[in-house]
Chain A
Amino acid sequence: MAANNSADDLEYNEFYRALQTQYLALYERAQSDCWLVCVPISASLPPPPDISYNFVAAHLLEPSKLYRDEYSSLLTSGKRKVWRLESKELKTIDDSYCVRVLSEELAYNRSFQHYRMLMIDRPLVEGSQKRRKTVTNDELLVPKRTLKEQLELLANFQKHTEIKREVDKRIDMFRENYMVLEGFLTDASSRIENLIKQAYTSYIREHQSDKKVHDRRIQEMIWIALESYIVTQLHGKVYSKIISRHRKENQMFYERCKELSSTLTPAALGLPVDYSCPYKETIEKLNTMSQQNTPIGKLYCLQETIDNIQTDVKNHFKSSLRIGEPVPLPSDDLISLLATIIVQANLNFFPSDVYYIENFHWPFSEGEKLSFVLVTVRAALEFIKSADVDKYLPTKQKKKTSLPSRVTPPIHSSLALPTVPPSLLKLHDEEEGKKEVPPLNETLEKLKRLRMIDDNIVTDRNNMSTKPEKQEGRSFFERLMYDDGVMSSVDFPSPSKS
């Protein structure tokens, strides 16, 4: 998916384009003097001919020499107009007119001096904000996830019917003349990619005079629609071969998931307590992946799964009546959490599906979110495949195999633990610690909810008992600060923004 599908994206904003082309001299001056550049969102702009010199000039604000957060417009019918920037609003000095600041972009001039660029909800020129009924390409840019929606998008183009007829012919030829073999799936992949390229080229070439196709976001949507259509038509022929090629791997992976489903938990992986929550709906979402017929459909499903993980953690955090936000999910934890969810889902053909996505989906834009989703899924899959099962087995079960039956566990461990200071707990065997921890953990958790003790004791305690990595020896605060992001800490005050 495109990085930004919003019509408000600066890259496609007509005012911003006018600054870059028609009113470049004005813009250059504003940049070199580090003025405040205000860009009204596309939907609020007057039609292009109305983006006049005065209109543009009214949005380039010179900082006041006397007062901080006060600015005056360069030219408004020969007069200067003074504005005050207050938090998320830009107001006239007499409060008679106010616009909302939607976002701020980092901007630097030729000398790499920083100047501010604000996206605002409407123009600074009163009375000019006649919203147009439609914004170019806006309706087309609504995300299209189903094949039906994607075909409707293609139908917007004048020569769609003829091109589709041609595409269908090629698909039929492929179906009738090409034999997909398990050992030659990469060849099948490159041939299907060529089919998509041919179709895409036809769409673009035949509609060159249509301004819509000059928008990269629309191009991407055309590409995805064609990929979905063509791959769906060939799904039966290709997917069955992928399944049979990965039969053994699918089976092994399924069994591995079953084996780990009850033991590979966030706690067993040493993840913060905030992440130990029910992921029922997320698991259900992941299970719907097998219903999708296209790699992109499966990938969207994985993306939603990852998004749901984050929502679940947030909701769980809120439901435990804690203040603030849970710590953000870094990649390590995201992979671990995803692994715990995959093993609980009922995925019969997961390795096949990942292969299908990796080889029969051709991303329009590398390095963007869907690519990241796929890499995270691949990482989780590899982790599950290589995970040391024994490490995550319940302690009792493990002891059965690792200790002779006549050896009784040392008494001291169960008796001594509650009185041992947390800082010494890391000296205990990792698994032993886990076994003895629950009673103390539960007590600490209750106290924590009552906000009688600090979070760091609980989190340190959990991490010490289960997380063998570098976490040891660092305080909760340090980890929060340096590894998990301090900005949304729970019980610690956020550092002031500079």
Chain B
Amino acid sequence: MAARTGGGGSLQVKVVLLGEGCVGKTSIVLRYVQNQFNDKHIQTLQASFLQKNLTINRRRLCLNIWDTAGQERYHALGPIYYRDSHAAIVVYDITDEDSFTKAKNWVRELRKMLGDSCVLVIVGNKSDLEKNKVIQEKDAQEYAASVGAKHFYTSAKQNKGIEEMFLDLSKRLLEKEGNNSNPSSTNPSSTRRPGGITVTDDSIRTDRPSGGGGGGGGGCCG
């Protein structure tokens, strides 16, 4: 699914955070979104859906970050969360081997559902607990490379590696969008809605509708 470009040229992307419960998904996203001073009132309690705007070389991105349910009882609901995502951050705990195995399962499921369309990052969190590390860096790096992902170490506790990870993710999203080298190509007066209508100053084009309820069924016009 292509990311949507807003009227002012910002790129709206959906990023899902996946991983077993307790690996630190929520802490990572809270650290990234709230660490910087911001008066725009992010509800402190809201941790499951957060937005972060950033500018990279004049291109603006709006990351809509979905923290997904990681507990086993909600595992089956995964697909409804990561449907239509542009990027996924799969988190494991470097001190917990089981969480790494689960991360691999998430990656497998993601690839099965979304193919290669999704920018993927694998994150070993709790890097501050280095002495208890059970997942070796080499194994994690090799695994990440084998699935077309990048691997990062982060520590939500010490605020390490998080900004770098999100920056890399954003760069790859922009590269994928193919617009990073030509930011002025975004016409501010050109807008698009997901249903497939592109409106520019001069023309209106109606494409095939996407998503929604559409499709199928028998016609019943009487």
Report A's interface with B, CB cutoff 8 A.
Answer: 3-4, 9-12, 17, 20, 27, 31, 88, 101-110, 112, 117, 177-181, 183-190, 193-194, 197, 200-201, 204-205, 208, 213-217, 219-220, 223, 307, 310, 313-314, 325-326, 328-332, 334-335, 358-360, 362-369, 372, 375-376, 378-379, 382-383, 469-471, 474, 478-479, 481-488, 495, 497-498
Bound state CA distance, A145 and B207, in angstroms? 29
Give the Cβ gap from A272 to chain B, nearest Cβ, in Å.
12
Considering the complex of A and B, which 4 residue pairs feature the smallest CB-CB distances, nearest first?
A189-B213, A216-B7, A367-B14, A187-B217
- Inter-chain contact B22/A482, CB cutoff 8 Å: yes
30 contacts between A and B (CB under 8 A): A10-B55, A11-B8, A17-B8, A105-B53, A105-B54, A105-B55, A109-B57, A179-B220, A184-B218, A188-B220, A189-B214, A190-B212, A213-B199, A216-B7, A219-B7, A314-B45, A330-B25, A332-B69, A362-B211, A364-B194, A367-B84, A368-B12, A375-B81, A383-B77, A482-B23, A482-B156, A483-B22, A483-B26, A485-B27, A487-B34
Q: With A109-B57, A201-B204, A488-B44 in contact, do A214 and B189 touch (Cβ < 8 Å)?
A: yes
Bound state CA distance, A429 and B160, in angstroms? 40
Name the CB-closest residue of B to A269. B73
Give the Cβ gap from A336 to chain B, nearest Cβ, in Å.
9
CB neighbours of A31 from chain B (8 A) = 57-58
Give chain A's interface secondary structure class: helix
Give the Cβ gap from A493 to chain B, nearest Cβ, in Å.
12
Name the CB-closest residue of B to A480. B27
Name the CB-closest residue of B to A469. B71
Bound state CA distance, A3 and B10, in angstroms? 11
Additional pairs, 18, CB under 8 Å, beyond known A197-B206, A481-B157: A3-B64, A20-B9, A110-B57, A177-B221, A184-B217, A189-B214, A193-B214, A201-B204, A219-B193, A329-B47, A364-B193, A367-B12, A372-B49, A375-B80, A379-B74, A470-B21, A471-B21, A486-B27
- Inter-chain contact A193/B212, CB cutoff 8 Å: yes
- Inter-chain contact A197/B209, CB cutoff 8 Å: yes
Interface string of B191-221 (1 = CB under 8 A from A): 1011101010100101001011111111111
Give the Cβ gap from B159 to chain A, nearest Cβ, in Å.
5
- Inter-chain contact A193/B213, CB cutoff 8 Å: yes
- Inter-chain contact A108/B217, CB cutoff 8 Å: no
- Inter-chain contact B156/A383, CB cutoff 8 Å: no
- Inter-chain contact B220/A184, CB cutoff 8 Å: yes
Name the CB-closest residue of B to A13. B8
Asked if B60 is at the interface (CB within 8 A of a chain A CB), the reply is yes
Give the Cβ gap from B124 to chain A, nearest Cβ, in Å.
13
- Inter-chain contact A186/B215, CB cutoff 8 Å: yes
Q: With A3-B64, A104-B36, A197-B206 in contact, do A335 and B43 touch (Cβ < 8 Å)?
A: no
Report B's interface with A, CB cutoff 8 A.
Answer: 1, 4, 6-10, 12-14, 20-27, 30-31, 34-40, 43-49, 51-58, 60, 62, 64, 66-74, 76-77, 80-81, 84-86, 93, 125-126, 156-159, 163, 167, 171, 183-184, 188-189, 191, 193-195, 197, 199, 201, 204, 206, 209, 211-222
- Inter-chain contact A112/B56, CB cutoff 8 Å: yes
CB neighbours of A375 from chain B (8 A) = 66, 80-81
CB neighbours of B60 from chain A (8 A) = 10-11
Bound state CA distance, A102 and B41, in angstroms? 10
CB neighbours of A20 from chain B (8 A) = 9, 58, 183-184
Q: Which of A201, A314, A325 has the most CB of B within 10 A?
A: A201
CB neighbours of B22 from chain A (8 A) = 470-471, 474, 478-479, 482-483
CB neighbours of B72 from chain A (8 A) = 469
